[in-house]
Amino acid sequence: MCADPIQDILIDENDFRIHKDFNYTSIKHDIALIRLKMPAKIHQNNIKTICLPFNPKSLNQKLTVIGFGLTEMGESSDQLRKVNVALRDNDECSDELRLNQYRKLDETQICAGGEN
């Protein structure tokens, strides 16, 4: 309601770089870089830099997740959402999600959330 306006910036499909080792089956390296056609206004309050951890074991027990994913009601959101979630053990997550040997979380991935 009180956020700065959304910035609608065009991109070309050639300016979208998926990680070279991305694997849909194993959900590893699920990250991409996007080159914008014009600079974003990074002074706005709704745009911030992020730091990705080099060592997931060094993370705090509470993490902040921001995105457009599913709401607590299981519906897709077109509003940017923010929630604090607890860091979870990867083996527990793999078991809970019924992941198999081809799709198991490893030390390069982070599991968080899942509480009702």
**What is the residue extent of each domain of the chain?**
1-48, 50-116
CATH topology of domain 50-116: Thrombin, subunit H (2.40.10)
The 3-state secondary structure of the chain reads CCCCCCCCCCCCHHHEEECCCCECCCCECCCEEECCCCCCCCCCCCCCCCCCCCCHHHCCCEEEEEECCECCCCCECCCCEEEEEEEECHHHHHHHCCCCCCCCCCCCCCEECCCC
**pLDDT value at position 19?**
92
pTM: 0.56
Q: Walk along the chain (116 residues) and give the pLDDT tens digit of each residue.
A: 567 788 888 888 888 899 999 887 777 888 889 898 998 888 887 777 777 776 766 777 888 888 777 777 888 887 878 888 888 888 888 787 777 666 777 777 888 887 65
